[in-house]
A and B are shown apart, each in its own frame.
Chain A
Amino acid sequence: MLRTHSLLITILLLFVLSAVFLTIRHESLLKEADQTFVSLSYLHPEDPKDQSFVISHRAENSRTLEVSYHYQNQEVQKNTIPLAPHEEKVFTPESAPLSITVRYQDSENQEQLLTLYKK
């Protein structure tokens, strides 16, 4: 019986092993990727007056970001914000800026620049 069904048993075992391996691979690829980027978004995009925004920090390690508010009179207000791993922070500028820019170094030490503006 074992000889008759040995090919089938081999295939079943290899399929289970492949499924386990590919599932681990899938999860680790996504997890790895999820730890490498930052996103910047308005909290209430539908309300033109509400300038509250969210920085989602998807990283295992801490990171310092530079947040700049650009105003109509060309004034730029800069803040340095430390973010813990996987921290999500909401900010509300005191007066409405023309645009908001976040500058940070990504995991490959490349400078990334993200911007938001409401018109």
Chain B
Amino acid sequence: MFSLALLTNAFLASISLVLVLIFGIFLPGFLLKRSLAPRVSFTSLESALLSFALGIGIIDASLLFLGNLSLPLNALTIGTWYFVLIISLFVILTLRKIPFTETSVPLLATKNELCVATLFIVLLFFVKVFYLSGTILPTSTDLGHHLYWAKLTSDTQALPVYEKQEIIQGEDGHYSVSQPEAISDFIIGEHLPVSFLHIFTGASYFGTFPILFLFLLNLSSVFALALLFYALGTVLSKENKWQYVTPSSFFLLALFVFGGLFSLASPEMKFVSGGVIGNLFGNLYIPLILLVLLRALSEKSASLLALGFFLIATLAYTHHLSTFILLFVLLFTALSLLIFWQKDFFQQCQTWFRMALQPVSLATLASILLFALLIALPTYIETNAVQTAVGAPTKETRTGLTIAQLSLSNSAFKFGLAIFGLLLIASTSKLRKNIGGVLLFGYGIVLLIMTMTPQLLLVDIPSTRIAHYLSFPLTLLALFSVLALLEKLGEQIPKNSSVFKNPLLVAGGIIIWLALIAPGLEDNGKTLTVNRQGLYVQETFAAAEYLKEHVAPGELILKDHNFIQASDTWMKLFFSQGYNYPFSRSFFKRYEDNPDREHCTLAMIATPNTALGKQCYQDLPVRFLVVNPRFDQAQFTKSSEFSLIYSSPNIAIFSVKSINQAP
């Protein structure tokens, strides 16, 4: 299986991806960061993360701008635009006499800390890559859906119009395919970076680059969380005069827990292999925005505030749910500040308001507003997505999770420690007077309320989806509790004495570590499953290739989503004839849960010889059916209307004898 040619190809493909990431995302992002915040000091990791996040924002803004000017979105146009953009940023830096390079602040103080961090990073890569090695094939349903739009953008060289056609029943009782209708589930910002990478690397959408990009997003989110915790640690330990627990400990502990222990289950690597693009963007941007805002407010830096505005705008164009969650987090942090700080809050607000009125932050905000007004608004604002997320919960799945359900997905120990952390901040005057403490409190408490009692905040979103966002502040609060306890314990040890001389302290420390490590390993263990789907992927793709050659214009294809073993949603990438092409028999539960939903897609496969099945075939120009012959064959064999025209062990294609040609 292993050959030199394969190694060379893999190396070249990886290098080309890394070069596009560096010159297409990191470099423009870095130059923008230097232009907006030339005098702010960053650690090199912070600088890289911010450059990456800003670079993605630049891709979204650039492609939206060029696309709205009706310019073709190809390598030539985008490349020329990027050349001009990079030169302009260089000129701005030169005119403002800002050096291109920046002096980084060291993140870790000692060599030992550096060694431990390196070890944790190696562990992080090992665990995550080991998991991905079993799930790297293009099988995920969501990723198939998302990549359709990314491919459409690069194929048509134009911004995609998020529309789909559905099977509807008219007033006369006949079924037909509807006119294209707007979709609110997808946001353009989550697809444009993928299209951008394809345009410049030329890599196949069926290859590894989409998953590698999502992997990079996940890695970045782990580092963003560790850096946010580091920033919290800096603010908290400085103002509370902690002597034993340093900001580096905050960084290292977060890196170990997010990167090594709880690093596979949702919302981490499972979201990577599952292609949950929007959430992965949210998981990066939310902690990064909180980090930048925390630093902006504590350092009173307008430049950092400007970076924060740009990042919030990028998130708004990338993922609606994450933006919604972020707004609640910011609102509750402000509310917590008001409650905990009272009069001091208004004094601080005046300072912050003056900071917001500085030219750099004001100009950034004005540019974002102008872009929204003149170029493009986030698509979900134009559709009804916002209204559907606000209001009293409309389904049982949206009425909140119980403590037992939350403990199950977050480990009871972690959950308990997090609650302790919340109580500790609320009850300790030094912590609740500290902006870092209040931010951590606001981040945790709002997501806890949104997950457990969403009706209080009029949130109408599936509670399990919000719970994925909750897992991050819960972990941060739990880790904060551990470190606060360690600091308190440290203070009890007489000076010039070692912690190892106190057996009780050593035993306590070991118990805490084991209690943290065990659920983390269990969490990883549950997610690691051997899943060899290569054969199924190949069979599905081979069938799609066959159909592509034989389907005529105006003819429809119907495939089954229940029993086809893998990659059925990826079939649409072969045809590029619409988001719902081929039409799909959805999960059976969806028809049961929603009796008003059209049932043609169900009847045409499950019961083609019933009155409904026959009517659907009469009304709709369905020419081909793609099914798993192990589950759906007998109903077609019995009928004289169907021919079996393609057969492989797990895929069968039937053709319909007489079809209604009118689309």
Chain B, residues 96-111, CB within 8 Å of chain A (1/0): the string is 0000000010111000
Q: Which of B360-368, B409-417, B646-654 contacts A (4 or more CB under 8 A)?
A: B646-654
Please name all residues of chain B whose beta carbon is closer than 8 Å to the beta carbon of A29 when the two chains form the complex: 136-137, 532, 534
* Separation of A5 and B46 alpha carbons in the complex (Å): 11
* Separation of A88 and B490 alpha carbons in the complex (Å): 74
* Separation of A48 and B644 alpha carbons in the complex (Å): 12
- Contact partner of B7 (CB less than 8 A), chosen from A10, A14, A20, is A20
Contact between chains at B648 and A26 (CB < 8 Å): no
Q: How far is the CB of A24 from chain B (nearest CB, A)?
A: 5
Contact A114-B643, Cβ < 8 Å, known A22-B136, A23-B208: no
Residue of A nearest to B18 (CB): A16
> Is residue A15 contacting chain B, with contact meaning CB distance below 8 A?
yes
Q: How far is the CB of B441 from chain A (nearest CB, A)?
A: 30
Contact between chains at B136 and A37 (CB < 8 Å): no
Residue of A nearest to B21 (CB): A15
Contact between chains at B207 and A26 (CB < 8 Å): yes
Q: Which of B174-182, B211-219, B321-329 contacts A (4 or more CB under 8 A)?
A: B211-219
* Separation of A38 and B536 alpha carbons in the complex (Å): 12
> Is residue B13 contacting chain A, with contact meaning CB distance below 8 A?
yes
Q: Count how many chain B residues have C-beta atoms less than 8 Å from C-beta atoms of the other chain.
A: 64
Contact between chains at B10 and A37 (CB < 8 Å): no
Chain B, residues 539-571, CB within 8 Å of chain A (1/0): the string is 100110010001010000000000000000000
Contact between chains at A39 and B121 (CB < 8 Å): no
Contact between chains at B2 and A39 (CB < 8 Å): no
Q: Which of B125-133, B143-151, B383-391, B595-603 contacts A (4 or more CB under 8 A)?
A: B125-133
Interface secondary structure of A, over-half rule: helix
Q: In chain A, residues 1-55, which have Cβ atoms closer than 8 Å to a Cβ of chain B?
A: 3-8, 10-12, 14-34, 36-42, 45-46, 48
- Contact partner of A39 (CB less than 8 A), chosen from B125, B215, B640, B646, is B646
Contact between chains at A7 and B18 (CB < 8 Å): no
Q: Count how many chain A residues have C-beta atoms less than 8 Å from C-beta atoms of the other chain.
A: 51
Contact between chains at A23 and B10 (CB < 8 Å): yes
B residues within 8 Å of A by Cβ? Answer: 1-2, 6-7, 9-11, 13-15, 17-18, 44-45, 48, 104, 106-108, 114, 117-118, 121-122, 125, 128-129, 132-133, 136-137, 207-208, 211-212, 215-216, 219, 223, 532, 534-539, 542-543, 546, 550, 552, 640-649, 653, 655, 657
A residues within 8 Å of B by Cβ? Answer: 3-8, 10-12, 14-34, 36-42, 45-46, 48, 56, 58, 99, 106, 112, 114-119
Known pairs A16-B15, A23-B9, A40-B648 / 5 extra A-B pairs, C-beta < 8 Å: A20-B11, A27-B9, A39-B539, A46-B552, A119-B642
